[in-house]
């Protein structure tokens, strides 16, 4: 089986790269083929790379609090390119992020499949992605019905 491919990076003007680098290493160790776009990546680049590589998942990291503006139209642009990766976003997604449930709802309304806060463990992100992509952790391949 070929590796599931994921695209990761920080979006917009966000220059924080430590979290996305740690995420890259955790995903690679979990067996994913990771394309790290790095910091300050325009959403158009996320869309282009996801479409060109037929990515299974797109993971956006943002710590500077302006992710909502940066992600506006991301899912529509993916659809326009016939790209349909699982999308996850995490970090400090809005300035004064005190109502996590409201922030989560807003990003789900923008089209994200999963929204994580700054306290989320990397293992949780990896496990969530495995579940979404149907990867059986023990076998490291798509889960199959066992008789």
From CA 71, how far away is CA 90, in angstroms rounded?
12
Which residue among 16, 48, 66, 132 is the active-site one?
16
Given 14, 56, 70, 75, the catalytic residue: 14
Is the Cβ–Cβ distance between 43 and 62 less than 8 Å?
no
Q: Check the annotation: does 126 bind a ligand.
A: no
**Residue 17 assigned to a binding site:** yes
**What angle separates helix 18-29 from helix 122-133, to the nearest 10 degrees?**
50
Q: Is 102 annotated as a binding residue?
A: no
**Which phi-psi region, left, alpha or beta, contains residue 135 (left: φ > 0; alpha: ψ -120 to 50)?**
beta
Residue 60 assigned ligand-binding role: no
Q: Would you say 16 is a known binding-site residue?
A: yes
In the chain, at which residue ranges do the beta strands (DSSP E only) sit?
Answer: 5-10, 33-36, 57-62, 86-91, 114-116, 135-136, 141-142
Query: Is 147 labelled a binding residue?
Result: no
Is 25 annotated in a binding site? The answer is: no
61 annotated as ligand-binding: yes
Q: Please state, in angstroms and rounded to a whole number, the distance separating the CA atoms of residues 23 and 27.
A: 6
Task: Establish whether 14 is a catalytic residue.
Answer: yes
Q: Residues at the annotated binding site?
A: 13-17, 61-63
Active site (catalytic) residues? 14, 16
Which residues line the annotated binding site for adenosylcob(III)alamin? 13-17, 61-63
């Amino acid at each position: 089986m070929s590796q599931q491919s994921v695209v990761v990076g920080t979006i917009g003007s966000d220059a924080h790269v430590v979290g996305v680098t740690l995420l890259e290493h955790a995903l690679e160790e979990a067996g994913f083929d990771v394309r790290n776009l790095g910091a300050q990546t325009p959403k158009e680049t996320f869309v282009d790379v996801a479409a060109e590589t037929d990515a299974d998942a797109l993971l956006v990291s943002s710590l500077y609090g302006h992710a909502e503006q940066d992600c506006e139209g991301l899912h529509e642009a993916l659809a326009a390119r016939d790209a349909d990766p699982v999308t996850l976003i995490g970090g400090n997604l809005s300035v004064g992020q005190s109502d996590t449930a409201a922030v989560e709802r807003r990003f789900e309304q923008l089209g994200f499949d999963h929204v994580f806060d700054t306290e989320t463990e990397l293992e949780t992100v990896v496990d969530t992605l495995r579940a979404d992509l149907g990867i059986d952790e023990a076998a490291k391949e798509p889960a199959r019905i066992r008789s």
